[in-house]
Amino acid sequence: MRILITGGAGFIGSNLTKRLVNEGHEITVLDSLLRGNKLDKDTYSKINFIKGDVRDAQLMIDASKGCDLIIHFAAVLGVDIVADNPVETMDVEVIGTRNAIMAAEINNIKKIMYASTSGIYGHSAIENALTEEVLVDPRTSYAMAKRYNEIYLASHHEEKGLNVISLRFFNVYGHNQDNRMVVPLFFEQALKNEPITVFGTGKQTRDFTYIDDTVEACVRLMNLEGCYIVNIANEAEWCISDLADKIKGIANSESEITYIAAPKKRYDYEVERRVGSSDKLFKLTGYKPLTTLEEGLKLIQEINYKK
Ligand SMILES: NC(=O)c1ccc[n+]([C@@H]2O[C@H](COP(=O)([O-])OP(=O)(O)OC[C@H]3O[C@@H](n4cnc5c(N)ncnc54)[C@H](O)[C@@H]3O)[C@@H](O)[C@H]2O)c1
């Protein structure tokens, strides 16, 4: 296939690009390099790379000419960055997705795979793992824009027959992630024997999905035709203090784990519980993420930090 990947130089995008290049797909990456370039040299040499902004409509049309699929992952993210830049976050999401849809229409591209987020569940009450049917509760500009785009894309399925796969990622971690995010940040603190800083009580839970599992799910889902919203989750609930403990152990660190008050601007992100169901993913693809947190963290230590 010929595929345009926006945000393909980022964490998830670079891992997915590498996999798709290795499978023989012809890839164009469009990325503003806001977070640097995480593509390795070999992969970079095998793709068509365009440095640019998804808000540039003409660029999106030109970049996707001749493609069979647009994988639209470009976004502004990271709790503090989004809290400090809500307007730009919204802008990149809404205008970028509008441009992806417009480019697909103009270039007769029949499918868009879009990176949404588990953040749209917000403070939804959960007794069991979150399914796609749960009433969502987006609270931040980032989560609201993601939900808006899911609906916007689905309306293009209804009206124009565009195939749409919206992916609700649950805390992806692994190779190429930068330390805005909790797993690489804790590793960095642990390896320097500095305090590992946990916000609040540390009892808040998340569902951590290893990058290779995430990429596998994406590759399987991109073959679907129709309109889908799909969780990509590990179905395991871990509290942040246990995550800190595990990383400290794996890094063989002498760090203290310290508990500090979360900055006020993080309030809407401080969801008490979040764990996702991957039943729908399994029904659609026969696949579920299987790497346990312990295994994933050991792989990170091995790949990124082994001396
Ligand atoms: N990592 C996670 O746990 C997670 C969870 C939920 C959703 N997501 C979504 O998955 C996608 C990929 O996330 P990631 O973790 O790889 O993040 P990332 O920040 O590493 O990648 C995003 C990429 O988008 C690029 N970008 C930002 N603004 C752009 C613009 N205006 N034009 C072109 N490129 C631009 C950045 O340079 C970066 O390379 C995003 O849409 C994100 O919202 C990620």
106-118 pLDDT, tens per residue? 999 999 999 999 9
Q: Which residue has the higher pLDDT, 5 or 265?
A: 5
Sequence-ordered list of residues with C-beta below 8 angstroms from that of 216, at least 6 positions apart, any chain: 287, 289
Check whether 267 has a pLDDT greater than 80. Answer: no
CATH topology of domain 182-205+237-275+292-305: UDP-galactose 4-epimerase; domain 1 (3.90.25)
- Determine what percent of the chain falls in helix, strand and coil, rounding each to the nearest 5: 45, 20, 40
- Decide if pLDDT at 89 tops 90: yes
Listed by start position, the domains of the chain span 2-173+209-233+277-285, 182-205+237-275+292-305
Q: Tell whether the model's pLDDT for residue 177 goes beyond 80.
A: yes
2-173+209-233+277-285 and 182-205+237-275+292-305 agree in CATH topology: no
CA distance 245 to 111: 42
pLDDT score, position 263:
80
pLDDT at 81: 85
Position 297 pLDDT exceeds 80: yes
| pLDDT at 217 exceeding the cut of 70 | yes
Q: So what's the pLDDT on residue 260? A: 93
Q: Which amino acid is at 303?
A: I
User: Can you tell me whether residue 162 is helix, strand or coil?
Assistant: coil
Average pLDDT over residues 254-273: 84
Nearest atom (ligand 1) to Cα of 118:
6
Mean pLDDT of 21-39: 97
Q: Is the pLDDT of residue 266 over 80?
A: no
pLDDT band at 180 (very low <50, low <70, confident <90, very high): confident
Query: What are the φ and ψ backbone dihedral angles of 58, each rounded to 5 degrees?
Result: -65, -40
Q: Which residue's CA is minimally distant from atom 31 of ligand 1?
A: 53
Structurally, at CATH architecture level, domain 2-173+209-233+277-285 sits in 3-Layer(aba) Sandwich (3.40)
pLDDT of residue 307: 64
39 lines ligand 1 (CB under 6 A): no
Does the C-beta of 171 come closer than 6 Å to ligand 1?
A: yes
How many A from CA of 218 to the centre of ligand 1?
15
Average pLDDT over residues 121-135: 90
Cα 9 from Cα 7, distance rounded (Å): 5
Strand partners, 26: 2
Half-sphere exposure in the Cβ direction for 4 (13 Å, CA): 31
Q: How far is the CA of 178 from the centre of ligand 1 (A)?
A: 11
Is the distance from the beta carbon of residue 117 to the nearest atom of ligand 1 less than 6 Å? yes
* Mean per-residue pLDDT of the chain: 95
Mean pLDDT of the 177-184 span: 92
pLDDT average, residue stretch 194-222: 96
Sign of CA dihedral 152, 82, 138, 241: positive
Beta bridge partner(s), residue 293: none
CA 162 to centroid of ligand 1, rounded, Å: 23
Mean pLDDT of 29-46: 97
Confidence tier at 268 by pLDDT (50, 70, 90): low
172 close to ligand 1 (CB < 6 Angstrom) = yes
* Ligand 1 binding pocket mutation candidate from 28, 31, 271 (most atoms within 8 A of CB): 31
252 φ/ψ sector (left φ>0, alpha ψ -120 to 50, else beta):
left
120, 169, 271: residue to mutate for ligand 1 pocket, most atoms within 8 A of CB: 169
Nearest alpha carbon to residue 90 among 33, 149, 133: 149
